[in-house]
Structure 1
Amino acid sequence: MLDEEIYEKVKKMISETLGVDEKEVKPEAKLVDELGVDSIGMLDLLLKFEDEFNISIPDQDAEKITRVQDIIDYLKTKI
């Protein structure tokens, strides 16, 4: 899967889950500070990423995800 395809899927999933405009979901966007993700929202997103991409995201890896690009980079290593 190409980087752009991963980004488009991630962007759509974040937008739908958080109810934010896709235009706000940029690679450099901080999940908490800019997109308003709280702990429950982050858990919801991670579960959706796991289901969509058929992967498992351990807690120690999840803690390192703070920006949209972090998700994209992580997914690139797992799929």
Structure 2
Amino acid sequence: MIFDKLVEIMMDHLSIQPQDVTMDTAFKDDLAVDSLDLYDLVMALEEEFNIEMPQDRVNDIETVEDLIKLLKELGVEE
């Protein structure tokens, strides 16, 4: 499942706890993720799923749900 894999990668790159993450979790407001942290996460996701995430779309990501929607649009399967 994309959500579980995403949480695993977030734990490695953002030092968060899995119980802190839901679909509605906001990267900036809830997890205090800054642009460099998000860039690091995006790089890890691109490598993990062998995709390229358009920067303009990455800039629109606010929540975990936003990120999962983008991953699905880019062909990442459940």
After the TM superposition, which residues 47-62 of structure 1 pair with which residues of structure 2 at under 5 Å, given as runs? 47-62=43-58
Q: Which runs of 5+ in 1 are unaligned?
A: none
Q: Which runs of 5+ in 2 are unaligned?
A: none
Q: Give the whole-Å Cα distance in 1 for the aligned partners of 2:17 and 2:2.
A: 18
Q: Which amino acid aligns with 1:14?
A: M
Q: Give the whole-Å Cα distance in 2 for the aligned partners of 1:33 and 1:56.
A: 26
- Aligned residues: CA RMSD: 0.8
TM-score, length-normalised on structure 1?
0.90
Q: Give the whole-Å Cα distance in 1 for the aligned partners of 2:8 and 2:32.
A: 16
Counterpart in 1 of 2:3?
7
Counterpart in 1 of 2:41?
45
1:28 aligns with 2:24: yes
TM-score, length-normalised on structure 2?
0.91
1:67 aligns with 2:72: no
Identical-residue share of aligned pairs (%): 31
Tell me the matched-pair count.
Answer: 75
Question: Which runs of at least 4 in structure 1 moved beyond 6 Å after TM superposition?
Answer: none
